[in-house]
């Protein structure tokens, strides 16, 4: 000790170099959190702001939360004040409406991420419907009553409460509950209410139900199955929805039937299942239909033209169906109702074609979400480009619409969403040189991003630190690599993807056991449970766009060139280079050393599972992402595509406010819109003409039209008078000119005679 002390003095070490190292410097802190904390219960998409919201259930894995995602790494977590499970999410303007299992209706502000209002509804809420043009949320109770929640005043309207109309219509009916609410897509003055025994159209203008739809199967009609064919049957209603233009009404029932109705006279057009047509008709010698599963969800989609429609259906298939998934029935253009015959209307619901959008085997779709191209109207089913489905396993899957091709979440969705798309089987962490990682941006054939909204928060920049790269293996044989960050600005937020299943030329039995990435070169190696090692290297795919995968013979114990197994859509990225087939048990360790890979294996097939636990650590204060456009989102106004202005008796948003709450002052959004219209009018802009009629009642609208027409007629009369005066003046001038010419001609003749 003395000699060491003397040597330290001789070398000039006067101070203890570890004196400045304090225990607080090693205290763990949370910099970022990725993933979905619990089982997904519901989701919603807002096409105007291009935001995705996902809510979860309370479970053993964590409490219910709401996750809102935008483009790249934009995200926000909304935590309720108490533990709960969420059942429904709806976007409206710059707010997010959430309904939980305790019937607590909560409003979240997307600007600040704060909970701005909430109310516990007295009763079991089973249906929630909103409209992007309204300041109201309609709530359907299990008892059959309908309430209206004022989103502007943040309370239940005391002057609006609809009773159970079906119980009034049929007092002998028992256990009549409400299952669905749907606003008319082009006339907000009509509300479709689905009860367990039938459907009702309620008119806000008339303050009374106008049509009742009851699906009754007579003896001998096959129906959807699951009942005695020789008796009268009344299948239980499970869903009710409008045609995108409001021309028809569809009711779905628990026996697999879909009934199509004429909302004008209340008659049944036809009924069908996914396989059979006209199942409501009595036929001699008909046999009972096979049992069908209950419909999980039905969406009546439309293209840019609202009359060109199709049905997207989850469920309704026989239990022994050879192919499970979503069913799409392309109905094509809707016949003109005024001129089409009854037979033409019935034949329309046969559909032009029917296809199944396949889902992974062993799981079924329990809910799906459509991604409209631009419009939030038509119940979110206008011109969709993609579908996100929630499976019974709790995983998500995204497909293109209507083709049904799988869409990878890589660089399309937030990394937290990709962790359940599908589930993660294993992950690893590696520090990679910053310069090397910045150059690793893959080029892949992809469509336009699904999420474009939000703005990232300003974070500190750490440009001289290596990057922490997460390597995440999923159950479908894909591995995704992305920068987890240090709570700083992520310079390269893109995600890399490799397809291990394609590199091994098999779709099953692809279990990744270990991964490793070279910190300097960026090479990537994957080990599997069956004893293979796949090596990837950054490069350009020579077979880009061509699926010319060659069959490579197995070569146990040696390296095999698998460059031909590159993904066709990937132009530049991590390309498969070599395959090492050890075939001596699962690969348990991989390590890059300079330009070589060391690997280890175990000769025994037995393996153990590792479990990771975590606890919430002390959080530090950080900035927040902005999820929407602020004032632009508060006052945005969307015109319904395909709905032209006409002199009709349709109810406007202003009329609906008066019908629901006559004593209610104008809402904040209406006053903001009125102020904007006044500014535009003072500025002489043309926007006032487009924005003005949307916030006026039908009486004001007719008065304004009459005044404008009278003014135009007066202007036309003045113009005709001016034209008459001008014509008279022109005629006088012509007469004077002709008389002058005559005089000149006579005087000229006289002059020529005498002179």
pLDDT averaged over the chain?
Answer: 83
Q: Which of 264-268, 320-324, 421-425, 635-639 has the lowest mean pLDDT?
A: 635-639
Measure the CA–CA gap between 610 and 652, rounded to whole angstroms: 60
CA separation, residue 621 to residues 116, 650, 706, 707 (Å): 21, 51, 60, 60
Measure the CA–CA gap between 236 and 298, rounded to whole angstroms: 16
696 has a pLDDT exceeding 60: no
- Strand order of the sheet with strand 95-100? 86-92, 95-100, 104-109, 115-120
Question: Residue 624 has what pLDDT?
Answer: 47
43 has a pLDDT exceeding 70: yes
721 vs 185 pLDDT, higher one: 185
Q: What does pTM read for this prediction? A: 0.80
Q: Where are the beta strands (DSSP E) in 406-490?
A: 424-432, 443-444, 467-474, 478-483
Instruction: Give residue-wise pLDDT tens across range 203-254.
Output: 999 999 999 999 999 988 888 876 678 889 999 999 999 999 999 999 999 9
642 has a pLDDT exceeding 70: no
In contact, 364 and 374? CB cutoff 8 Å: no
> What mean pLDDT do residues 70-76 have?
92
Share of the chain above pLDDT 70, in %: 81
Non-local (6+) Cβ contacts of 203 within 8 A are: 189, 190, 209, 210
363 vs 593 pLDDT, higher one: 363
> What mean pLDDT do residues 134-154 have?
93
Question: Residue 486 has what pLDDT?
Answer: 84
532 has a pLDDT exceeding 50: yes
Measure the CA–CA gap between 353 and 605, rounded to whole angstroms: 50
Residue with tokens 């395959």: 579
Q: Which of 373-377, 602-606, 710-714 has the lowest mean pLDDT?
A: 602-606
User: How would you class 262 by CB atoms within 10 Å of its CB: exposed for 0-12, middle for 13-18, buried for 19 or more?
Assistant: middle
Question: Residue 702 has what pLDDT?
Answer: 52
612 has a pLDDT exceeding 60: no
674 has a pLDDT exceeding 80: no
Instruction: Give residue-wise pLDDT tens across range 535-544.
Output: 999 999 988 8
- Within a 10 A sphere around the Cβ of 453, how many other Cβ atoms? 22
Residue with tokens 């004001």: 700
647 vs 345 pLDDT, higher one: 345
Angle 668-683/653-660 helices, nearest 10 degrees?
150
- Within a 10 A sphere around the Cβ of 644, how many other Cβ atoms? 7
534: left (phi over 0), alpha (psi -120 to 50) or beta: beta
Read off the pLDDT band of 26 (50, 70, 90): confident
> Can you list the domains of the chain with their CATH numbers?
122-418 (2.130.10.10), 424-449+455-601 (no CATH)
Measure the CA–CA gap between 166 and 179, rounded to whole angstroms: 13
405 vs 662 pLDDT, higher one: 405
């Amino acid at each position: 000790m003395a000699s060491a002390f003397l040597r330290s003095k001789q070398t000039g070490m006067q101070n203890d170099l570890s004196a400045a190292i304090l225990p607080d410097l090693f205290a763990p802190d949370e910099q970022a959190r990725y993933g979905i904390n619990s089982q997904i219960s519901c989701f919603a998409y807002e096409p105007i702001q291009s935001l995705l919201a996902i809510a979860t259930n309370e479970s053993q894995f964590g409490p219910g939360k709401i996750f809102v995602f935008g483009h790249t790494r934009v995200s926000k977590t909304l935590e309720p004040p108490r533990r709960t499970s969420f059942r429904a999410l709806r976007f409206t303007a710059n707010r997010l409406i959430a309904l939980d299992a305790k019937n607590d209706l909560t409003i979240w502000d997307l600007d600040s991420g704060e909970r701005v209002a909430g109310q516990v509804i007295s009763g079991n809420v089973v249906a929630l419907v909103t409209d992007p043009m309204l300041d109201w949320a309609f709530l359907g109770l299990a008892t059959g009553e309908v309430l209206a929640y004022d989103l502007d005043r943040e309370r239940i309207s005391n002057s609006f409460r609809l009773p159970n109309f079906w119980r009034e219509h049929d007092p002998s009916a028992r256990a009549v509950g409400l299952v669905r609410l749907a606003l008319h897509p082009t006339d907000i003055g009509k509300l479709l209410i689905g009860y367990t025994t039938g459907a009702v159209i309620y008119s806000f203008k008339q303050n009374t139900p106008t049509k009742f739809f009851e699906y009754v199967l007579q003896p001998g009609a096959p129906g959807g199955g699951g009942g005695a064919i020789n008796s009268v049957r009344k299948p239980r209603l499970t869903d009710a929805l409008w045609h995108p233009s409001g021309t028809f009404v569809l009711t779905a029932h628990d026996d697999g039937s879909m009934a199509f109705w004429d909302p004008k006279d209340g008659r049944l057009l036809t009924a069908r299942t996914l396989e059979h047509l006209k199942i409501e008709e009595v036929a001699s010698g008909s046999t009972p239909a096979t049992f069908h599963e209950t419909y999980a969800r039905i969406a009546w989609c439309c293209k840019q033209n609202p009359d060109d429609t199709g049905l997207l259906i989850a469920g309704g298939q026989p239990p022994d169906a050879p192919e499970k998934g979503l069913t799409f029935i392309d109905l094509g253009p809707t016949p003109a109702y005024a001129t089409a015959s009854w037979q033409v209307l019935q034949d329309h619901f046969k559909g032009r074609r029917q296809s199944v959008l396949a889902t992974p085997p062993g799981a079924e779709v329990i809910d799906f979400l459509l991604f409209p191209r631009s419009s939030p109207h038509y119940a979110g089913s206008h011109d969709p480009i993609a579908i996100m489905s929630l499976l019974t396993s709790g995983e998500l899957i995204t497909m293109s619409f209507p083709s049904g091709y799988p869409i990878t979440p890589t660089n399309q969705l937030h990394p937290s969403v990709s962790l359940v798309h599908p589930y993660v089987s294993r992950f690893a962490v590696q520090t990679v040189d910053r310069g090397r990682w910045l150059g690793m941006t893959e080029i892949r054939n992809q469509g336009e991003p699904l999420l474009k909204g939000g703005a990232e928060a300003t974070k500190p920049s750490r440009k001289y630190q290596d990057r922490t790269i997460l390597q995440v293996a999923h159950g479908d044989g894909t591995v995704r690599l992305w920068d987890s960050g240090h709570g700083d600005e992520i310079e390269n937020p893109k995600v890399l993807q490799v397809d291990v299943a394609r590199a091994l030329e098999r779709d099953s039995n692809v279990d990744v056991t270990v991964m490793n990435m070279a910190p300097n070169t960026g090479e990537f190696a994957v080990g599997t449970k069956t004893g293979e090692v796949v090596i990837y290297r950054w490069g350009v795919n020579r077979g880009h766009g061509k699926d010319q995968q060659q069959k490579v013979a197995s070569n146990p114990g040696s390296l095999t060139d698998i460059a031909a197994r590159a993904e066709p859509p990937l132009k530049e990225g991590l390309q498969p280079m070599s395959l090492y087939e050890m075939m001596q048990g699962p690969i348990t360790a991989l390590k890059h050393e300079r330009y070589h890979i060391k690997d280890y294996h175990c000769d025994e097939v037995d393996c153990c599972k590792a479990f990771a636990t975590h606890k919430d650590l002390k959080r530090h204060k950080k900035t927040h992402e902005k999820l929407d456009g602020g004032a632009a989102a508060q006052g945005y106004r969307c015109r319904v595509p395909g709905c032209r202005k006409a002199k009709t008796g349709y109810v406007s948003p202003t009329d609906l406010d008066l019908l629901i709450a006559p004593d209610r002052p104008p809402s904040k959004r209406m006053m903001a819109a009125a102020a904007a219209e006044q500014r535009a009018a003072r500025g002489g802009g043309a926007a006032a003409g487009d924005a003005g009629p949307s916030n006026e009642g039908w009486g004001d609208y007719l008065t304004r039209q009459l005044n404008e027409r009278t003014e135009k007629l007066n202007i036309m009369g003045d113009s005709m008078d001016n034209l008459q005066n001008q014509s008279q003046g022109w005629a006088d001038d012509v007469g004077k000119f002709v008389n002058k010419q005559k005089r000149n001609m006579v005087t000229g003749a006289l002059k020529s005679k005498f002179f």
